[in-house]
Amino acid sequence: MKRFALIGRHLQHSYSQRWFEELFARLGLEDHSYELKEMPTLDGLREWVQTEHISGFNVTVPYKQEIIPHLDAMDETATAIGAVNCVTVERVSKLQSDQVSESLSHSAIRLVGHNTDAPAFRDTLSSFITHHSSLITQSYILGTGGAARAVAYALGQLGIPYTFVSRHPEKWAVASNQWSVIGYNQLFTSHLSPFTLIVNATPVGMYPAVDKTPLDLTNFHFSLFTFHFYDLIYNPSPTLLMREAAACGAQVKDGLEMLHCQAELSWELFRSTTNFS
């Protein structure tokens, strides 16, 4: 049996298990399973992977950055972003244990971090703003966590300038002075261009807290602008933020297509991983 999983702290919102189970059914992989594993901390992560014979797993909030010290390596994209949402597991035989570090030889596994959020966001964003992609002159990323960093990396690849929006901009700007950071109260008081993209990379508004929104759009109207709101949340859809933005005249998109895209990329990594027995 090949076992895969999603790890996080609260996973009631997740559609990942459904997506992978449908994939395995289509491919006739009856010896494959995917589970949701809620973890209050990452203590014992390596032991869980080894004893439960996990072949690969995805990572969601709040562990996309916290997991890094628990890994043995990261690919180039994950390293550049500083966040991981996919981990492949390589199993090392006793004969090969002398070729790996002492810390690995006792555990017989090698955990490698990847980031499939960034390419998934990039590819799905391109279809969302296809008619205005060359006109987007600025973007704002709500949040500063692992998902927000993946979004920033993708926007950089597309040549779209971005600014992070944080509830504690002073604190975050000091720690990450290479990025532009503003507070939520500055977002609509700053100069907004006619073509602006706003990405919600926070969990605010996610099930079960469906009556929450990261932005107060009261008395704001986007009719004179071409605003695009991309909310990475997919449960519920539309979110309160999406409904309010659409009512103000903005174009909106949820995160379901991105979920499917990053899952497909994760599966490619999982199935291409060489497991040594």
Is the same domain home to 166 and 200?
yes
* DSSP designation for 272: H
- Domain span at 234: 119-258
Q: What pLDDT score was predicted for residue 175?
A: 58
Is the same domain home to 53 and 84?
yes
**Closest C-alpha among 151, 157, 158, 150 to residue 198:** 151
| Residue 12 within any structural domain of the chain | yes
Is the same domain home to 165 and 196?
yes
* CA distance linking residue 85 with residue 79, whole number of Å: 12
Q: What pLDDT score was predicted for residue 277?
A: 36
Is the same domain home to 49 and 179?
no
Is the same domain home to 8 and 113?
yes
Is the same domain home to 98 and 164?
no
| Residue 277 within any structural domain of the chain | no
pLDDT tens-digit series, residues 226-246: 789 999 999 999 999 999 999
Give the CATH number for residue 144: 3.40.50.720
Instruction: Report how many helices (DSSP H) and strands (DSSP E) the chain contains, helices first.
Output: 9, 12
Is the same domain home to 192 and 68?
no
Confidence tier at 169 by pLDDT (50, 70, 90): confident
Q: Which residue matches tokens 């706003």?
A: 198
**Within a 10 A sphere around the Cβ of 140, how many other Cβ atoms?**
22
* CA distance linking residue 264 with residue 268, whole number of Å: 6
Mean pLDDT, residues 150-158: 96
| Residue 48 within any structural domain of the chain | yes
In this prediction the pTM is 0.91
Residues marked as catalytic? 64
Average pLDDT, rounded, for the chain: 89
pLDDT reading at 269 higher than 60: yes
Q: What pLDDT score was predicted for residue 227?
A: 86
pLDDT reading at 267 higher than 60: yes
Whole-Å CA distances, 228 to 131, 141, 263: 11, 12, 24
Is the same domain home to 232 and 266?
no
Q: In this structure, are residues 165 and 189 in contact, taking their beta carbons and an 8 Å threshold?
A: no
Q: In this structure, are residues 109 and 90 in contact, taking their beta carbons and an 8 Å threshold?
A: yes
Task: Count the domains in the chain.
Answer: 2
Q: In this structure, are residues 33 and 52 in contact, taking their beta carbons and an 8 Å threshold?
A: no
Q: What pLDDT score was predicted for residue 220?
A: 73
Is the same domain home to 43 and 153?
no
* CA distance linking residue 136 with residue 44, whole number of Å: 45
Contacts of 204 (CB under 8 A, 6+ apart): 142, 212, 213, 214, 241
Q: What pLDDT score was predicted for residue 173?
A: 59
Confidence tier at 195 by pLDDT (50, 70, 90): confident
Percent of the chain with pLDDT over 70: 86
pLDDT tens-digit series, residues 84-143: 999 999 988 644 545 555 444 445 899 999 999 999 999 999 888 876 656 788 899 999
54-76: b (≥16 Cβ within 10 Å) or e: bbbbbbbbebbbebbebbbebee
Say which amino acid occupies 106.
Answer: H
Q: What pLDDT score was predicted for residue 107?
A: 55
Query: 194 or 53, which is more confident?
Result: 53
Is the same domain home to 150 and 177?
yes
Is the same domain home to 103 and 147?
no
Mean pLDDT, residues 158-168: 92
Is the same domain home to 134 and 68?
no
